[in-house]
Amino acid sequence: MNIHEFQAKALFEKFGVAVPRGAPARSAADFGPALDQLDAKGGLMVKSQIHAGGRGKGVFKDGFKGGVKFAPTREKALELAGAMLGNTLVTAQTGPEGRKVQTIYFTEAASLGKRPNGRDDEYYLAILLDRTTSRPVIVASTEGGVEIEKVAHETPDRIFKVHVDPAVGLQPFQARQVAFALGFSGDLLKQCATLVTKLYAFFWEKDCSMVEVNPLLVTAEGRLLALDAKVSFDDNALFRHPDVLALRDLNEEDAKEIEASKFGLSYIALDGDIACLVNGAGLAMSTMDIIQHFGGSPANFLDVGGGASKEQVTAAFRIILGDPNVKGILVNIFGGIMDCDIIANGIVEAVRETGLKLPLVVRLEGNNVEAGKATLAASGLTIVSGDSMADAARKIVALVTP
C-alpha cells in the first residue's frame, strides 16, 4: 500500500526524522488556514499529492506545467494551488490518463546548501528489502535529486549499501558508516547517523516495504532534512497497523481492482483488448504472455485463486466486462483439486447473468474435465473450447482480430 508524501512526512515526524514544515489542504477553503501555519519568508513549495513519481516534471491536462512548484509569496502559493487542485496531473509514472489532484501540500521552502565544489547539497537515502540476502538494506548515495536507477547504471561506485542483521537490528556503527559514505563530518555526521537510525526504526516498526528520501538535503544553515518522502507498506502486515490502513486513499486505486479485492480476486488492468480469467498467479501471468505470443494483447491480469467459487467467477466476469476496451475473453482454468464441472457451471451462469456478447474461449483442464466440457457444450451458448493453453490463445486472438 502506498501513501501520500504529506502522510509519509507526518509519520517521519512522529519517528523524529526532520522534514520541512508543511500543511496539507484538501479544498480551496483550506488553503488559507494551511498557509497560516507556515512561514512564507523564504518562499513556499506547492506540491500536488498523488501516488506517482515525476510530479515536478508532470503536466496537467489543461496544459499547466509542473505538479511541484516554488512560490516566492503566499499569494503566488494560493494561485498555484488553485491551478493544481482538482486538475489532472500526467507524469511519466501515471500513464496518459493521469491522476486527479485532490490534496495540495504546502511546505516551507528549504534554503539549499552548497558543497565546497559548488554542487547542491542533495543526497539519496532509502531502506528496502534485499531479496538476495533476505535482509533489510540501507541504500545511500551522494547523488541526490536524480533518479537512483540512473545513478546505479552510470556510476554504481557512488551507491553505498549496508545490510541490517534482523537478529540485532541496525547498529550505531552502521548508521555512522552511512554518514561517512555520504561525506559528512562534525555535527552533520551526528545528524545523519541519528536520522538513519530513526528512519530504520520507522521502516521496521511499521512494516514498510520501502522508504525513500530523495533528496535528503543539507540546508544553508547546516540542517539535514528529508525534502521528499516516498513510503510503501507490506500489504500482508496491514492487519497489525490500523493507523497505517487509515491512510489508504481509494481515489488513488483502480475502482475495478478495489471491487475485485472484495471477492478475493487479484485483478490488474492493462491496456490490451483480450481479457483473461485464470486460477493461480503464475498461470495468470503466463496466460497474458501466451496471448501476446500469438499476436494478441492482454486486457488484464486476473487470478481467481486456487479454489474459485461460482460467486467469484461471476464477479470476475462483471469486472472484466466493466473494461470498455475488452473485445474477447479467455478463461484458463487448471482445476487440480477444483471440480472443472463446478467451474463450467459458474461460467455458464456468469455468461447468462451478464448477457455476454463477446467471443469467449474456455480452456479447462484437470479434475472432472469431461463433465465440465459437456456442461459448456450443453449450455447452448457460443463458447469456444480450447484444448491447450496454446490452442485457446490462438483461438481467442483469431476471434478478436478483425
What distances in angstroms separate CA 386 from CA 199, 298, 360, 365, one per listed residue?
53, 17, 10, 10
Question: In 3D, which of 291, 308, 309 has the Cα closest to residue 300?
Answer: 291
Does residue 124 carry a catalytic annotation?
yes
Lay out the sheet containing 99-100: strands in order across. 59-60, 88-90, 99-100
Comparing CB distances to other proteins, the nearer of 84 and 326 is 326
CB of 192 to other proteins, least distance (A): 25
Nearer to other proteins, 213 or 302 (CB): 302
Rank residues 30 and 257 by Cβ distance to other proteins and give the closer one.
257
Catalytic site includes residue 212: yes
The catalytically annotated residue of 124, 143, 200, 267 is 124
CA torsion angle 35 33 47 219 (round to 10) = 30
| Crossing angle (nearest 10°) for helices 28-36 and 74-84 | 150
Cell numbers linked to 60:
496537467
Nearer to other proteins, 121 or 228 (CB): 228
Residue from 112, 126, 94, 101 nearest 24 by CA: 101
Smallest gap from residue 221 Cβ to other proteins (A): 37
CA 371, distance to chain mean position in Å, is: 42
Return the exposure string of 150-161: e unless at least 16 CB atoms fall within 10 Å of the residue's CB, then b: ebeeeeeeebbe
Helix (H, G, I), strand (E, B) or coil at 221: coil
CB neighbourhood size of 85 (10 A): 21
Which lies closer to other proteins via its Cβ, residue 40 or residue 268?
268
**Interstrand relation of 122-130 and 208-218 (parallel, antiparallel or unpaired):** antiparallel
Residue 321: CB minimum distance to other proteins, A:
21
Shortest CB 281 distance to other proteins, Å: 3
Q: Concatenated DSSP letters for 231-244?
A: EEE-GGGGGG-HHH
* Burial (Cβ within 10 Å: 0-12, 13-18, ≥19) of residue 214: buried
Measured distance CA(188)–CA(199) in Å, rounded = 16
Query: Least distance to other proteins from the beta carbon of 90, Å?
Result: 17
Catalytic position from the list 108, 143, 212, 267: 212
**Of 279 and 345, which has the nearer Cβ to other proteins?**
279
Closest approach of other proteins to the CB of residue 353, in Å: 25
Q: Of 156, 268, 137, which is closest to residue 212 (Cα–Cα)?
A: 137
Site residues, other proteins (CB under 8 A): 93, 129, 131-132, 134-136, 149, 152-153, 165-167, 204, 207, 209, 234-237, 239-240, 266, 268, 270, 278-293, 298, 301, 303, 306, 334, 336-337, 365-367, 388-391, 393
Nearest residue (CB) to other proteins, 76 versus 293: 293
Q: From the CB of residue 359, how many other CB atoms can be counted at a distance below 10 Å?
A: 18
Local structure of 265: helix, strand or coil: coil
CB of residue 136 vs other proteins: minimum separation in angstroms? 7
Q: Which is nearer to other proteins, 106 or 267 (CB)?
A: 267
CA-closest candidate to residue 299, choices 318, 282, 324, 316: 324
Supply the minimum distance, in Å, between the C-beta of residue 366 and other proteins. Answer: 7
Say if CB 66 and CB 76 are below 8 A apart: no
**Which residues are designated catalytic?**
124, 212
